[in-house]
Structure 1
Amino acid sequence: MTVRSILNTKGHQIMSVEPDAKLAAAVKLLGEKKIGAVLVMNQSRLEGILSERDIVRVLGERGASVLEEPVSQVMTRKVVTCKETDTVAELMEMMTSGKFRHLPVLDNGKVVGLISIGDIVKRRVQEYENEQEALRDYIKTA
């Protein structure tokens, strides 16, 4: 199973904010869309990623006044990305070793999607359910 197969199921929708957007606006977007991370993009160029963890960390360090600062002051700048041809096993390894839950998907340097750990779990569960059904059908016909 590849990243492309997950994106084909979930879609290629990307939630993003500009680097100069206020952190409060990004928090509002995360809450409204019920997502855990947003890409920080200038035009179509990926500049960073902002996750719930980034927000909690900076709120703990600097307090609520940080909500008025630009996202660029809080985001993770060194973004680990993946390709559509990467496998789910490779993604799980990247996420586990890097201790993050979201990976932007790039195709020739262009952002084409965002994969979360939740997307991977849903796809794996679906895979196991399909296998179980196939086994049940096989047993019935045997």
Structure 2
Amino acid sequence: METKVDRILINKNLQEIVQVNPDTSVIEALAVMEKYGVGAVLVMDGKKLAGIFSERDYARKGIIKGRKAKSTPMTEVMTANVFTVDSEMGIKDCMELMNDKGIRHLPVVDEGVVVGVLSIRDIVNALIKEQRQHINFLENYISGSIAG
């Protein structure tokens, strides 16, 4: 049976969703990312997902464009059209979406409420774990049928 997003979120043991607001400066957002050891933060307008800001956004929309990190707000550099998934989605579909869209982070939204964020690392680790379980099952099945 395929692993669902909700299982990954449970295993991540989320204490909080790392976020900033649309008026947060680039330098402040980068400090938040460094503090939590993440490569992206959600940009939240109250409880509404306004966008996502990643290290890649900083490089491509900030530095390269000559924007100042101390004075540039999230609204100028964030990705506004965010691809999201819900907690019932399977991890293979998440991987396909990430691959097709060239993204590394997926906010998880249930009934309009952000409940977590998945990184490409989370998905890859879950897929590896799932494959190990399949291999163990097959090895046990083969061992059992040969011994029996």
Deviation at 1:39, TM superposition (A): 0.2
Deviation at 1:26, TM superposition (A): 0.7
Among 112, 118, 135, the residue aligned to 1:132: 135
Deviation at 1:128, TM superposition (A): 2.3
Q: Which residue of 1 is the match for residue 65 of structure 2?
A: 61
Determine whether 1:37 maps to 2:40.
yes
Q: Matches of residues 48-87 of structure 1 in structure 2 within 5 Å?
A: 48-57=51-60, 58-63=62-67, 65-87=68-90
Mapped partners of 1:89, 1:126: distance in 2:
13
Q: Secondary structure at the match of 2:69?
A: helix
TM-score normalised to the size of structure 2? 0.86
Among 23, 45, 49, the residue aligned to 1:46: 49
Mapped partners of 1:89, 1:131: distance in 2:
15
Q: Which residue of 1 is the match for residue 31 of structure 2?
A: 28
Deviation at 1:80, TM superposition (A): 0.8
4+ residue runs of structure 1 moved beyond 2 angstroms? 128-142
Q: How many residues align?
A: 141
Unpaired runs of at least 5, structure 2: none
Cα displacement string for residues 75-109 of structure 1 (whole angstroms, at most 9, x for unaligned residues)? 01111111111111211111111111111111111
Unpaired runs of at least 5, structure 1: none
Residue type of the alignment partner of 2:81: K
Q: Secondary structure at the match of 2:38?
A: coil
Cα displacement string for residues 15-55 of structure 1 (whole angstroms, at most 9, x for unaligned residues)? 00011111101111112212111000021111110011101
Determine whether 1:100 maps to 2:103.
yes
TM-score normalised to the size of structure 1? 0.89
% identical equivalent positions:
37
Q: Say if 2:91 and 2:126, in contact at 8 Å, map to a contact too.
A: no
Mapped partners of 1:20, 1:132: distance in 2:
49
Mapped partners of 1:85, 1:136: distance in 2:
29
Q: Secondary structure at the match of 2:59?
A: helix
